[in-house]
Structure 1
Amino acid sequence: MKEYEATITDFTHDGKGVARIDGKAVFVAGALQDERVRLAIRRRHRTYDEAETVELLERSPHRVEPKCPHFGQCGGCSLQHLDAAAQIAMKQRVLAENFARIGKVEPESWLPPLTGEPWGYRRKGRLSVRSVPKKGRVLVGFREESNPRYVADIGRCEVIHPRIGERIAALSERVGTLEAAADIAQIEFAAGDDAVALVFRHLKPLGERDREALAAFGREHGFAIYLQPGGVSSVHPLWPEEPRLAFRLDPGAGADPVELEFRPLDFVQVNAGMNQRMLAHAMALLDPQPGDRVLDLFCGLGNFTLPIARRVAEVAGVEGEHGLVERAGDNAARNGIGNARFHVANLFEDQRGADWARQPWDKLLLDPPRAGADKVLDYLPHKATKRIVYVSCHPASLARDAGLLVHRHGFRLVSAGVMDMFPHTAHVESIALFER
């Protein structure tokens, strides 16, 4: 590979350094802004090239030693070599640039970045599995950074919940003993407050010996073991017979806590500690009052809906996945909450005829997936809605929707800021307050 010297002038959305060689953009893995590097091109494209850092010639003052020995090989993290303050500043800059470029808006004030524990935070995720006869063992981990076709050879993970991250090698060893080792495609993990579950996706039926080996692994390490022979609906517990996953949330203002039960493949916020901080943040911005009627769109299991219900007159949650809505209703009943209603609706389709969409709501909370909420904003909010809190996992869609709320619906973008839900990655989670 031909090598070049270049100065890194910017970051990409996924944490690579950006240089220019002969006027063409080059995305450089392992390089930080303002560093001078010797790089090698590894892939060429029409409008940009991809490269890797061969040698650091001038080092950024924000560069730190990665905690994980697999950093650079494993694709699970992209920013461990950047200090925490610079990571969050980069994410705030990305959000500001998206507001200006896409939404043509700017918040009246910036919220202080919301941060938490940067290690062992990930309670939900998917590990790839690959049997490698040449190595005589099975690899369990995330995909390689430079070649996603391969599974990174790791023994532990510093960002996964410690009960799982510290047992990657043991998990790999156990899968390697199975007769069906080559037929295990992936392992999903999910941690509640008190229990941790592993879901083994297997492409062929497992024999009794393999089933017992997995159950024994669960007993030994304190994991609930699930099997998944097909689609999501095929997931079932192997050991124990009736595992229970749940997490608790504090609604604040002296209200009773709520507990949300969930299934191992349900969507829950990946970072448990940050989820509680985010809830408190959202509550402070929403300012729920005893007489308020609140609409929570893309509500999932009721992560916001049920804590809000503790502090208002009425709340309605709307979600597109029927199973999540059913479990949200069960969670409401389990917590003795009678002022929360849940509705199944595809919020990427026109729902203006639905009963919940025709009602007046004092306040609105939005927590959409990456695609954002622009389809909803065609018919909501109504004039009665004076305050909106928007929780976002994608700065570009938030910026677009902020433009719609400000320029079409007459709201002010009062404040906005980033939340470090995924430390050591370039993922930008953010929150914004709109008022009129």
Structure 2
Amino acid sequence: MVTFYKPSKSTKAKKAVTVTFTDLDLQGRAVGKEGGNTYFVEGLMPGEKANVQEINAKGNIITAKYTKIIKASELRIQDDCEYADKCGGCKMSFVPGDMLLNSKIEGIKRLFLKNATVNLDDPAFFEKAESIGYRRACRFAIRGDHNKLYVGFREERSNSLVKVKFCKCLTERINSVIEPLNKLINSFEKKDKLGHIECLDSDGLLGILIRFSEVLNKKDEEKIVAFAKDTDTVVSVVEPFYDPKIIDKKRESLKERIVAGDPSKLFVTSGGIRIECMPSSFVQVNRFLNTKMLDRVCSYVEEGKDSVLDLFCGLGNFTFPLTKKAKKVVGVDIVARMVLDARENAKEHGIDNISFEIADLEEQFENQKWAKEDYDVVVMDPGRAGAKRATLFLANKKPKRIIYISCNPLAASRDSQELIKKNYKLSSWGVIDMFPRTAHIEMILVFDLENKKK
């Protein structure tokens, strides 16, 4: 994820300071101390000395940029990616993988001690995989240059485009369509109505979504059909949709529709169960590590005995595999289309110990029927904002075990406090390095209800 910042309002350049760096923080910034100040600088790593210039400061905490590396670490990796100095996608590629993973783990420990007063032991497990060729889903931005369109990724701290022909992190199939996509978008009559492009390398065919700000015309649709046939892909478009039942035509919505390819060949496999999806569907980007994560989560459920609630379930990434161990599983998500698709998948597979419900877990949901039932185990995998309301609900409902999956340690540390207050103990935790070459990390936290009275 690209991080934006506001530069200092001062027009006077700050004097450079020489700092030696010893650690990495959870944002991937090098940390060093000098003259009573603590400096946080991107693009450096432990063991390096550099001249740095202040960007902004709060007391003795200074965010800075480096102007010159005086002493580079012997461990620094010279990345052979031609976009490494511009693209914001994997900005930690110069740090050795084991060092980066360890820094993420140590950063989590510091954060939980500070925010949740929990002194974490070493993780019970950590899972990692290849750092290149792993990413099966991505979004390309589109920009024009001299009346020609290009796909690519945004530059670090900028809306400018890095034009890419090949990305080391993407799967081979996604890389294979970058150049054909460039040709396709430049052939459109309505080039000025394009938004972005998403790719999903499913376990079946490659899915591609093209965003339009205007309803797709017939000529451009024919070009998409020909493209899909040539590349053996499934292509959908997102375009404005006007519901004839709504009188006020200003109330347009967006709708995704498949325009080319066989949608039945677009699917992901979760715990051996085939889940049909759309090119826009959210899936865990690292196929191999997602399998490892599913195995971990399922191992915390008692076979044939536990009833399980899966919050923020999406298409059922955890829900479906859990049916093989749990007595019953209920999945809940806000996106109606995903829930309806999940129900259809369950029906097609003949799975009778599963159900799916639609609910906004950030708004009042506590009086819904599914929420009044009792569960032995709860699994939840919220977005980056965490699950404040759902956590408070569970803390009072008191299932015997809560398995919290998080890609945001800060939100997870906040939510953990609420569970600890209500007699839950963080009995086990581990990390999945789902996003190598970046500062991001996926965590699994296991909370068990302690058998003592408040």
C-alpha contact (below 8 Å) 1:321/1:344 kept by paired residues:
yes
Matched residue type, 1:405: L
**2: CA distance between counterparts of 1:374 and 1:202?**
35
**2: CA distance between counterparts of 1:207 and 1:124?**
27
Q: Deviations over 1:116-144 (max 9, x none)?
A: 222121122211000111xx632211100
C-alpha contact (below 8 Å) 1:159/1:165 kept by paired residues:
no
C-alpha contact (below 8 Å) 2:143/2:149 kept by paired residues:
yes
Q: Percent identity?
A: 29
Does the C-alpha gap of structure 1 residues 8 and 415 become closer, same or farther in structure 2, counting only changes over 3 Å? same
Correspondence 1:45-194 to 2 at 5 A: 45=56, 47=58, 52-107=65-120, 110-133=123-146, 137-147=148-158, 149-194=159-204
Q: How far off is 1:426 after superposition?
A: 0.8
- CA RMSD across the alignment: 2.6
C-alpha contact (below 8 Å) 1:67/1:80 kept by paired residues:
no
Q: How far off is 1:77 after superposition?
A: 1.1
**1:310 and 2:343 equivalent?**
no
**1:426 and 2:442 equivalent?**
no
Q: Could you tell which deviates more after superposition, 23-32 or 395-404? A: 23-32
**2: CA distance between counterparts of 1:227 and 1:384?**
44
Aligned residue among 208, 214, 229 for 1:219: 229
Q: Could you tell which deviates more after superposition, 47-56 or 137-146? A: 47-56
Q: Could you tell which deviates more after superposition, 23-32 or 354-363? A: 23-32
C-alpha contact (below 8 Å) 1:120/1:165 kept by paired residues:
no
* TM-score computed with the length of structure 1 as normaliser: 0.89
Alignment-derived partner of residue 283 in structure 2: 268
Does the C-alpha gap of structure 1 residues 360 and 323 become closer, same or farther in structure 2, counting only changes over 3 Å? same
Matched residue type, 2:115: I
**1: CA distance between counterparts of 2:438 and 2:218?**
40
C-alpha contact (below 8 Å) 2:334/2:359 kept by paired residues:
yes
Q: How far off is 1:243 after superposition?
A: 5.3
C-alpha contact (below 8 Å) 1:130/1:185 kept by paired residues:
no
Tell me the SS of whatever aligns to 2:394.
coil
Does the C-alpha gap of structure 1 residues 237 and 382 become closer, same or farther in structure 2, counting only changes over 3 Å? same
Q: Could you tell which deviates more after superposition, 106-115 or 20-29? A: 20-29
Matched residue type, 1:138: L
Q: Could you tell which deviates more after superposition, 113-122 or 422-431? A: 113-122
Does the C-alpha gap of structure 1 residues 115 and 216 become closer, same or farther in structure 2, counting only changes over 3 Å? same
Q: Deviations over 1:309-360 (max 9, x none)?
A: 1222111111122112111111111221011111111111233322222222
Correspondence 1:336-347 to 2 at 5 A: 336-347=350-361
Alignment-derived partner of residue 396 in structure 1: 410
Q: How far off is 1:375 after superposition?
A: 1.0
How many residues were matched structurally? Answer: 423
Alignment-derived partner of residue 247 in structure 2: none
Alignment-derived partner of residue 325 in structure 1: 339
**2: CA distance between counterparts of 1:241 and 1:160?**
23
Tell me the SS of whatever aligns to 1:404.
helix
Tell me the SS of whatever aligns to 2:154.
coil
Q: Could you tell which deviates more after superposition, 19-28 or 175-184? A: 19-28
**2: CA distance between counterparts of 1:37 and 1:321?**
48
* TM-score computed with the length of structure 2 as normaliser: 0.85
Alignment-derived partner of residue 254 in structure 1: none
Q: Could you tell which deviates more after superposition, 375-384 or 157-166? A: 375-384
Unpaired runs of at least 5, structure 1: 251-256
